[in-house]
Every structure is written in structure tokens, then in C-alpha cells.
């Protein structure tokens, strides 16, 4: 949820609204109506549902609140496309989203366009007050989150098909680096001490990034880059999945129940591993950052490596002044990159140079921290339904930082807090090591 403050959206708001809304549809374009309807597991949603739900957000929180006697596009959508807002009312059960063959993709796109038109009208007419413009901003940030989810979810859906279809044939191409030994991972030191954690300044952030507060950190080191597939295969080769001493108790049980022996989307054995990507099935590139590992696997890997995962505050502190550059959805690669994506592809929000040596902090894969997702001291959720956006999930999940190769660049910042259950693997989640300074 947004912290509105005294924001006054620039004249470019309409243009930005149109661009972000359009980006979602662009992501759906390679997909057939059939692709858009399926749901491969309860954690994932159909593409069509993402298209509808993000629209529902604007209809419910902007149009209904702004227009007297607003007539809904379809009354039934209020329930169908409500994700989890109890304050708005009943919800279609999440695991049954994939059974909605009607409305059709075409109808949902028509829904999008009509709601977009009406929002644009209000924007053009200057009829949105500061509070509502704040909600609109939340809606756009929410839209960007669902852009990422649309890609992670369709990746999962297509991976269930034995023919291993690609989302886009040009995605996840192997890079020239493959097979070339990469510079060894280094450790960068930080002094710790009293640090400021959480979001500061004027820009948008969600309510869970606030209030910024001071926290005492011990001296620590962070790895200069993400753990690669090649390194992860060493862990596997040394019995990583069979030796309980590396694992949390819950992780060890999950591993057994799920029969985990490699990252999600991998197949094969030590004679050769293949990985399902958004570009289809191909060989694993040893130099690429490993992805689609659970917290349990990340944690076990770290213990095997004689290290640990970073604290959220350590990561936040280390990244605070970095420019947000890296391999994001805009590069079109849609897969972690063995070598930095070319400058013209890399997205950058800040002009400053990246701190020498600290690579891949943004983009490529989300980075598991060892911090449970909870409220910052003094946290207060927003009033009303939007108070359900973040606060009610503050239990049982772990914080991830930095964004991934399917995140929109403009959506990210150092204080951004993603959160997942420790057993989840379907998002682009990877590993950066940390250690205490001796």
C-alpha cells in the first residue's frame, strides 16, 4: 500500500498509466486463449485472471470510489476478480481460478479497455484528488507486480506440458559465456553499526517499507555476485540433497515429501542437466545464477558453503546507494544472465555507477534473506481494504530482495520487500551468500 503524502502526480500520469497498463497486455500477446485460462497450481493464477484482477483493482478502488452511482462493467466480476480483500467482499476461491472459461479472454480485454478509458477520462478531467491519485499509484505498482507474476505463472503452466513449449522462442538464449570459467566470487566487507533501514524520501513505497528506522548491524561480508548453477551443482555432487546436516528440519522434510534433488525446472543428472526456461528446454549454463530454489535449498547451500544468507537489513544497507541497474524484464531475456546484459538492454534508473565489485544486486533473481517477513517497528497498515495489501501476510514468510529478470525495472528499489513461503520455488529466487566478519 502506498504512502500518499502530499504527492501531486505530474501531467504525465495519464501517459504512464497507459504505458504500464499496455505493458501487461504486451506480455499476454504471445499466448493463446487456451494458454491464458489454465492454472497449474493454487499459488499461480491464469493470465486471464491477472488481466482481469488488475483491472478490477482500478474499477473497485478508483471508479467505484470516485463516480457517484457507478455501474459496474459486470456485477459478477466484483467477486470473480477479487484476490483476497475481505473488506471488499467474497472471493472466487483461489484454487479454482483456472475453471473460469467465461468470461473469455476477449471479454476480459474489453473490460480492460473500458475501465482504462474511464480512468483516463477522470485523469484528463482532473477529477482525481490527491488521495485517489495515491491509490492510482498503488494500482500501477500492483499492475507491475502482476506483470512479474504473469510471467512466473505462465512459466509454471507451460512447464507442465510434456512437449515443453516456450513462451517466446527468443527468450533465455544461451550466452557466449557458457563453459567459460568465471571470475571467482569475492567477499565485500561492511562495518555495520547503526544503520537506517526502510524507505526514506519522497518516492513511492509500500506501507511495509515504512517507517524507516535505525537498526544496529554487526560487521558482515556480502558475496560480490549470485551463486551460479555450476557452484550449485558442486553442492549437489557432494550430496547436498542427501545430507541432513545442511538442512533446516522443516526443509529436510519438505525435500523428502517433494522428492527434491535439484532446482525446480531442472531435469537430467550429472552427465548433463537441462532447464525449462521461458524459451523452452535447454542445457543448464554453468555460469548463470541458479534460480528457482526454495529458502530451504538456499539456506542448505549456504551452510554447505560455510556461509549464511544475508539479513534483510544487511542487504538493504549494502544496496541503499546503488543504482537500480541489471537484467530486468525490459531486456527481454526473461532468464538470469551468465554475463551482464549489454548496456543497451540493461535497465537503469539511476545515473550513478554501481559500487565496484557488487554485482547483480538488482535483477536476475530475487535473493533470499534469512529474515522472516514482519512489521518494521511502528508499522501501521493503511486504513480500509488496502490495509490488507501487505500487513496480513506478516507471518511464516521470508523476505527476498532485489528483483528478478522478470521484474519491471521501475518497480524496484533497495527497500523493496518481496516475501514468499520458504518452500516456494516457482518465482525466480536465487542465492547471495553472506558471512559474519570474523
* List of residues contacting a copy of itself (CB under 8 A): 32-38, 40, 48, 76, 79-80, 84, 86-87, 92, 96, 98-105, 157-158, 160-163, 165, 194, 213-218, 244-245, 247-252, 295-296, 299, 311, 370-372, 374-375, 377-378, 392-396, 422, 436
Cα 260 → chain centroid = 23
Q: How far out from the chain centre does Cα 289 lie?
A: 16
User: Closest distance between a copy of itself and the C-beta of residue 354, in Å?
Assistant: 27
What is the nearest approach in angstroms of a copy of itself to the Cβ of residue 325? 30
Counting DSSP H helices and E strands in the chain, the numbers are 11, 15
Phi, psi values for residue 227, rounded to 5°: -70, 135
Q: Which is nearer to a copy of itself, 78 or 413 (CB)?
A: 78
Indicate the residue among 137 and 207 with the shorter CB distance to a copy of itself. 207
Residue with cell 467465461: 102
Q: Output 215 or 228, the one with its CB closest to a copy of itself.
A: 215
The smaller minimum CB distance to a copy of itself, of residues 49 and 57, is found at 49
Q: Are 334 and 279 in contact (CB under 8 A)?
A: yes
Apex 107 CA angle, 104 and 110, nearest 5: 155
Give the whole-angstrom CA distance, residue 291 versus residue 365: 6
Beta bridge partners of 436: 220
Q: Report the residue number, 110 or 180, with the smaller CB distance to a copy of itself.
A: 110
Minimum distance between the CB of residue 431 and a copy of itself, rounded to whole angstroms? 16
Nearer to a copy of itself, 22 or 89 (CB): 89
Report d(CA 184, CA 162) in Å as an integer: 37
CB of 426 to a copy of itself, least distance (A): 14
Q: What is the DSSP string of 295-344?
A: HHHHHHHHHHTT-BPPPHHHHHHHHTT---EEE-GGGS--S--SSPPPTT
Query: How many C-beta neighbours within 10 Å does residue 23 have?
Result: 15
In sign, the C-alpha dihedral spanning 339, 420, 94, 19 is negative
Three-state DSSP at 36 gives: helix
- Cell triple for 349: 534508473
Nearer to a copy of itself, 343 or 438 (CB): 438
Q: Please name every residue paired with 206 in a beta bridge, in sequence order, or none if there are none.
A: 2
* In contact, 218 and 436? CB cutoff 8 Å: yes
Distance of closest approach, residue 14 Cβ to a copy of itself, in angstroms = 32
Residue with Cβ nearer a copy of itself (14 or 393):
393
CB of residue 326 to a copy of itself, shortest distance in Å: 28
Minimum gap (Å) between residue 140 Cβ and a copy of itself: 24
Residue given cell 527434491 in the structure block:
260
Choice between 247 and 315, CB closer to a copy of itself:
247
By the 8 A CB rule, do 44 and 157 touch? yes
Least spacing, CB of residue 237 vs a copy of itself, in Å: 21
CB of 11 to a copy of itself, least distance (A): 38
Q: How far is CA 128 from the centre of its chain?
A: 29
Query: CB-wise, 350 or 437, nearer to a copy of itself?
Result: 437
Which runs of consecutive H residues, i.e. helices, occur in 86-223?
Answer: 105-124, 130-159
Q: Count CB neighbours of 319 within 10 A.
A: 21
Tell me how far, at minimum, the Cβ of 245 lies from a copy of itself, in Å. Answer: 7
Amino acid at each position: 500500500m502506498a504512502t500518499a503524502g502530499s504527492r501531486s502526480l505530474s501531467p504525465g500520469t495519464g501517459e504512464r498509466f497507459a504505458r504500464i497498463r499496455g505493458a501487461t497486455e504486451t506480455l499476454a500477446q504471445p499466448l493463446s486463449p487456451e494458454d491464458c485460462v489454465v492454472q497449474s497450481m493454487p499459488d499461480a493464477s491464469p493470465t486471464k485472471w491477472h488481466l482481469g484482477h488488475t483491472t478490477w483493482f482500478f474499477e473497485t478502488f478508483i471508479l467505484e470510489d470516485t463516480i457517484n452511482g457507478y455501474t459496474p462493467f459486470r456485477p459478477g466480476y466484483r467477486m470473480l476478480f477479487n484476490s483476497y480483500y475481505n473488506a471488499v467482499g467474497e472471493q472466487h476461491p483461489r484454487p479454482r481460478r483456472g475453471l473460469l472459461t467465461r468470461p473469455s479472454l476477449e471479454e476480459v480485454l474489453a473490460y480492460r479497455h473500458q475501465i482504462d478509458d474511464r480512468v483516463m477520462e477522470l485523469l484528463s478531467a482532473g477529477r482525481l484528488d490527491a488521495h485517489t491519485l495515491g491509490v492510482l499509484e498503488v494500482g500501477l505498482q500492483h499492475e507491475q507486480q502482476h506483470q512479474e507474476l504473469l510471467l512466473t505463472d505462465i512459466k509454471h503452466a507451460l512447464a507442465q506440458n510434456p512437449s515443453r513449449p516456450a513462451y517466446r522462442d527468443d527468450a533465455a538464449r544461451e550466452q557466449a559465456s557458457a563453459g567459460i570459467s568465471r571470475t571467482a566470487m569475492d567477499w565485500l566487507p561492511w562495518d555495520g553499526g547503526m544503520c537506517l533501514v526502510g524507505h526514506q524520501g519522497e518516492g513511492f513505497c509500500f506501507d511495509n517499507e515504512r517507517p524507516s528506522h535505525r537498526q544496529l548491524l554487526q560487521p558482515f561480508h556480502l558475496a560480490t555476485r549470485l551463486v551460479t548453477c555450476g557452484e550449485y551443482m558442486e553442492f549437489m555432487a557432494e550430496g547436498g540433497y542427501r545430507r541432513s546436516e545442511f538442512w533446516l528440519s522443516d526443509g529436510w522434510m519438505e525435500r523428502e515429501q517433494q522428492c527434491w534433488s535439484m532446482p525446480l525446472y531442472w531435469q537430467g543428472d550429472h552427465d548433463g542437466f537441462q532447464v525449462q526456461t521461458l524459451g523452452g528446454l535447454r542445457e543448464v549454463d554453468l555460469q548463470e545464477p541458479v534460480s528457482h530454489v526454495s529458502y530451504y535449498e538456499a539456506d542448505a547451500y549456504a551452510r554447505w558453503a560455510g556461509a549464511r544468507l544475508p539479513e534483510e537489513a544487511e542487504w538493504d544497507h549494502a544496496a541503499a546507494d546503488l543504482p537500480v541497474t541489471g537484467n530486468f524484464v525490459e531486456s527481454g531475456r526473461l532468464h538470469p544472465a551468465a554475463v551482464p546484459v549489454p548496456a543497451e538492454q540493461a535497465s537503469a534508473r539511476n545515473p550513478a555507477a554501481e559500487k565496484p565489485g557488487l554485482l547483480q544486486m538488482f535483477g536476475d533473481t530475487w535473493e533470499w534473506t534469512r529474515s522472516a517477513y514482519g512489521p518494521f517497528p511502528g508499522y501501521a497498515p493503511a486504513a480500509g481494504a488496502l490495509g490488507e495489501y501487505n500487513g496480513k501476510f506478516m507471518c511464516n514468510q521470508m523476505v527476498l530482495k532485489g528483483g528478478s529478470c522478470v521484474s519491471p525495472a521501475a518497480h524496484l528499489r533497495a527497500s523493496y520487500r518481496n516475501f514468499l513461503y520458504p518452500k516456494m520455488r516457482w518465482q525466480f529466487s536465487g542465492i547471495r551468500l553472506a558471512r559474519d566478519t570474523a
